[in-house]
Amino acid sequence: MAFFVVPCYNEEEVLPETSKRLKEKLQQLISEKLISEKSRILFVNDGSKDRTWFIIKELHHSDPLYSGATLSRNRGHQNALLAGLMSAKNYADFVISLDADLQDDINAIDSMIEKYYEGYDIVYGVRSSRKTDTFFKRFTAEGYYKFIKLLGADIVFNHADYRLMSKRALDDLSEYSEVNLFLRGIVPMLGYKTTSVFYERGERFAGESKYPLKKMLAFALEGVTSLSTKPLRFITLLGFVIFFVSLLMLIYSLVQWFVDETVIGWASVICSIWAIGGLVLLSIGVVGEYIGKIYLETKHRPRYKISEFLNS
Ligand code: UDP
Ligand code: MG
C-alpha cells in the first residue's frame, strides 16, 4: 500500500486541482497494479487560516481515497510533513511526499515507484533545471548547497522534499527526535540504497509561495545549525589567526616605538577596533545560535499535535 503525503498551508486555491490530479495518478497506478487499492492521498493541514481543512474534509467524505490530518496550529512545513510521514507509515509500505502547489511534476512518481520495486528505499526527486525560479533564488540556493557541502553535510543538490521513502526508512526517521527539523539533511543520514529521478520543476499552480524570504532564511540557518558544528570550529580557528596577527602588530609597534615614530597609524587602529569588534560580535552571535538550539532541544516539546485524523 502507498501513501502520498501533502502538507498544506493556506492552499485553498490549489487543492481542488491538486486533489484531482493526484487522484488520477493514484487510480492510474492502481490500475497498473503498481500499488494496492487501499492506497491513499493524505493531506496534512498545517493550521491554515483559510478553507483548506474544510476542503480536505469534503474531499474525504466524497471519496475514501482521500485522507486528512489537521494540526492543532501552524507548525511549519517540515513538522507538517513529518506529521504526515509518521501517520502514513503505520499503513503504508512506502510514502511519497510532495508539495501541494503542483510544482513537483507528479509524473515522476511512476519512475520513483519503479525504483522502489528495484529495491531502493529512498528515491529523491531532483529538479533537472530551475528555470521557473528567479535568478536570486537560483543563485542563493546554489551558494547554500555549496556552503552546506563545505560544512561536511550530505545533502542532495536540487532536491527539496519530493521523495519516496520505504517503511523501514521512515521507521528509522522516527528515531530522530530533534525539534530543529531539516528533513533533507537527515534523510541522507539514514543510509539504505538510494537513488534519484529527475523532473522539470514547474510554476506554482495558483496562490503565493508560503516561504517568504524571512522563513527561507530561518530555514537555511536551521539547515546549517542542525547539520554541522563546523561554524563553531571556524570561530576558534579565526580566534587563533587574530591572536597571531595581534602578535605581529605588537612586534611592529615595538619596532616603531624603537625608531621613535609612535603616532602614525591612526587609521589602522580605528580599522582594527571596528574589524575585531565586528568579528567578536559575529562570533558571539554564532555561538548564541547554537546555544539557542540547545535550549530548544532540551525542552523536548512536541513537534506537532494532530487534532483530527480522517482515514478510511
Ligand atoms: N507549507 C506548510 N506549512 C508552512 C509553509 C508551507 O505546510 O508553514 C507547505 C505548503 O502548503 C506547500 C509546501 O509546504 O505544500 C511548500 O511551500 P511553497 O510551495 O509555498 O514553497 P516554495 O515552493 O515557494 O519554496
Ligand atoms: Mg512551491
Q: What is the DSSP letter of 33?
A: T
Residue 219 predicted with pLDDT over 80:
yes
Q: How far is the CA of 187 from the centre of ligand 2 (A)?
A: 20
Q: How far is the CA of 241 from the centre of ligand 2 (A)?
A: 43
Residue 224 Cα to chain centre, angstroms = 11
Specify whether 146 is located in the same domain as 266: no
Specify whether 179 is located in the same domain as 278: no
Range of the domain at 48: 2-228+303-310
Neighbours of 262 (CB within 10 A): 10
Sheet arrangement for strand 66-71: 194-200, 122-129, 159-166, 94-97, 2-8, 40-45, 66-71, 306-310
For 63-88, what is each residue's pLDDT tens digit? 999 999 999 999 999 999 999 999 99
Specify whether 83 is located in the same domain as 187: yes
Specify whether 177 is located in the same domain as 253: no
Closest ligand 1 atom to residue 216 Cα is 25
Question: 262 falls in which pLDDT band (50, 70, 90)?
Answer: low
Per-residue pLDDT, 263: 67
- Mean of the per-residue pLDDT values of the chain: 89
Question: 58 falls in which pLDDT band (50, 70, 90)?
Answer: very high
Specify whether 97 is located in the same domain as 157: yes
Phi, psi of 49 (to 5 degrees): -95, -10
Closest ligand 1 atom to residue 98 Cα is 15
Specify whether 129 is located in the same domain as 269: no
Specify whether 205 is located in the same domain as 241: no
Q: Which ligand is nearest to the CA of 141?
A: 1
CA 96, CA 164: separation in Å to the nearest integer? 4
Residue 261 predicted with pLDDT over 70:
no
- Specify which of 18-32, 129-143, 230-244 reaches the highest per-range mean pLDDT: 18-32
Per-residue pLDDT, 268: 75
Closest ligand 1 atom to residue 75 Cα is 8
Residue 31 predicted with pLDDT over 80:
yes
Specify whether 100 is located in the same domain as 212: yes
Q: How far is the CA of 87 from the centre of ligand 1 (A)?
A: 19
Specify whether 284 is located in the same domain as 138: no
Residue 302 predicted with pLDDT over 80:
yes
Q: How far is the CA of 234 from the centre of ligand 2 (A)?
A: 34
Q: What is the CB-side half-sphere exposure of residue 170 using CA atoms within 13 A? A: 26
Written as one string, the DSSP assignment of 224-260 is: HHHH--HHHHHHHHHHHHHHHHHHHHHHHHHHHHHTT
Query: What integer is the mean pLDDT of 193-201?
Result: 93
Between residues 311 and 261, which one has the greater pLDDT? 311
Total domains in the fold of the chain: 2
Per-residue pLDDT, 125: 95
The least confident of 101-105, 175-179, 251-255 is: 251-255
Query: What integer is the mean pLDDT of 245-269?
Result: 77
Q: Which ligand is nearest to the CA of 74?
A: 1
Stated as kind and residue range, the H or E segment containing 282 is helix 266-298
Q: How far is the CA of 244 from the centre of ligand 1 (A)?
A: 47
Q: How far is the CA of 49 from the centre of ligand 1 (A)?
A: 14
Query: What integer is the mean pLDDT of 109-131?
Result: 93
| 201: helix, strand or coil | coil
Question: 270 falls in which pLDDT band (50, 70, 90)?
Answer: confident
Question: Which of 202, 5, 169, 198 has its CA nearest to residue 85?
Answer: 5
105 Cβ neighbours under 8 A, 6+ residues apart? 199, 200, 201, 202
Stated as kind and residue range, the H or E segment containing 114 is helix 108-117
Mutation test residue for ligand 1: of 49, 205, 210, the one with most atoms within 8 Å of CB:
210
Q: How far is the CA of 10 from the centre of ligand 1 (A)?
A: 9
Per-residue pLDDT, 129: 78
Q: Which residues line ligand 1 (CB under 6 A)?
A: 7-9, 11, 46, 74, 76-77, 80, 99-101, 103, 209-211
Query: What integer is the mean pLDDT of 94-114?
Result: 94
For 250-259, what is each residue's pLDDT tens digit? 888 778 777 8
Specify whether 57 is located in the same domain as 155: yes
CATH number, domain of 124, equals: 3.90.550.10
Closest ligand 1 atom to residue 99 Cα is 15
Residue nearest to ligand 1 atom 1, measured at CA = 77
Query: What integer is the mean pLDDT of 215-244?
Result: 85
Per-residue pLDDT, 150: 87
Kindly state the cell numbers that stand for 249.
602588530
Per-residue pLDDT, 166: 97
Per-residue pLDDT, 165: 97
First vs last C-alpha separation in the chain? 13
Specify whether 152 is located in the same domain as 245: no
Per-residue pLDDT, 295: 84
Specify whether 28 is located in the same domain as 115: yes
